[in-house]
Amino acid sequence: MPLNPLEIVPGRLPALACLHAKKRTVKKLYLYGKSQTAEEFERLLPQEKIVYADRHQLDQLAGGVLHQGVLLHAAPLPVLDLDDWLVRHDRPDCILLALDCIEDPQNFGAMVRSAAACGASGVLFQKDRAAPVSPAAVKAAAGGMEYVDLIQVTNLARSLGALQEAGFWTAALDGRADTTLWSSDLTGRITLVIGNEGAGVRRLVREKCDYRLAIPLPGEVASLNASVAAGIALAECMRQRAVKD
């Protein structure tokens, strides 16, 4: 019988990150046979929490999610309310990634991975018309979901207003913008808004932002995958902070 999708951590890297981050309670670890990977996990968990299973058993528990022979059963990831998150985050150089109707779980996970790698404090995403926290997204994040705060909102434009009141600048990535990412000051408290894979940032959300920024593309292809664009913007935030310090 499949496990609850919200409690599945599939794959070696996501499972290791979950154990190291200690963000949620671990129930069981299912491993495919004895291997070098098994030894790695045996050093992190008591034996009574480890179950050795065959491929068919793992496939059934995972409910069709790719697991690479490693499946961690843990409490669901905590998803936070924006108001509660703001109370706890008063850093002057805080980076937040806001996703506007990102529907593909692979893109969602990849953006969380980039956010975690670049030192962002959180990823804000919508309750509706967006990819949820799912095993596919968790796997694509390669452990990133254990290291950044996940913040869910019902109205992104209104949430951007709350962030502005809390001292955040808000910037939407928009290929049609006159101002480039490279020419903008991205230090300080900043929220980067990434739009839907096809339509980009919605008009109401775009108009709510303090400014719009384009990534210059000198090549023949005029657009980037949403998660790639997010990674570039996050890396530029990180670079500017390093130069400033």
Query: For position 155, what pLDDT does the model report?
Result: 96
Which has more confidence, 167 or 198?
167
pLDDT value at residue 219: 80
Q: Is a pLDDT exceeding 80 seen at residue 222? A: no
Position 123 scores a pLDDT of 98
Pick the CATH number of 7-74 from 3.30.1330.30, 3.40.50.1000, 3.40.50.300, 3.40.640.10: 3.30.1330.30
What CATH class has 79-242? alpha beta
pTM for this model (two decimals): 0.92
**Tell me, what DSSP letter sits at residue 218?**
-
Rounded CA gap, 223 and 215, in Å? 9
Mean pLDDT of the chain: 91
* Among the listed residues 117, 95, 111, the one whose alpha carbon sits nearest the alpha carbon of residue 17: 117
Start-end of CATH 3.40.1280.10 domains in the chain:
79-242
Please give the pLDDT value at position 80: 95
The whole-number pLDDT of residue 205 equals 94
The pLDDT value given to residue 63: 83
Instruction: Work out the pLDDT band at 35, boundaries 50, 70, 90.
Output: low
In order of 13, 29, 38, 130, 209, the CA distances from 42 in angstroms are: 15, 10, 6, 37, 48
CA nearest to 183, candidates 149, 143, 213: 213
Q: Could you tell me where in the chain the CATH 3.30.1330.30 domains are found?
A: 7-74
Predicted confidence (pLDDT) per residue in 224-243, tens digit: 899 999 999 999 999 999 98
Average pLDDT, stretch 180-187? 92
Q: In this predicted structure, what is the pLDDT of residue 56?
A: 86
> Is residue 34 predicted with pLDDT exceeding 70?
no
Task: For residues 86 and 70, give the distance between their C-alpha atoms in angstroms, rounded to a whole number.
Answer: 35
What's the rounded mean pLDDT across residues 96-109?
96
> Is the model's pLDDT at 61 over the cut of 90?
no
53 pLDDT more than 90: no
- Tell me how far apart the alpha carbons of residues 177 and 179 are, in angstroms, rounded to a whole number: 6
- Residue 1, pLDDT score: 67
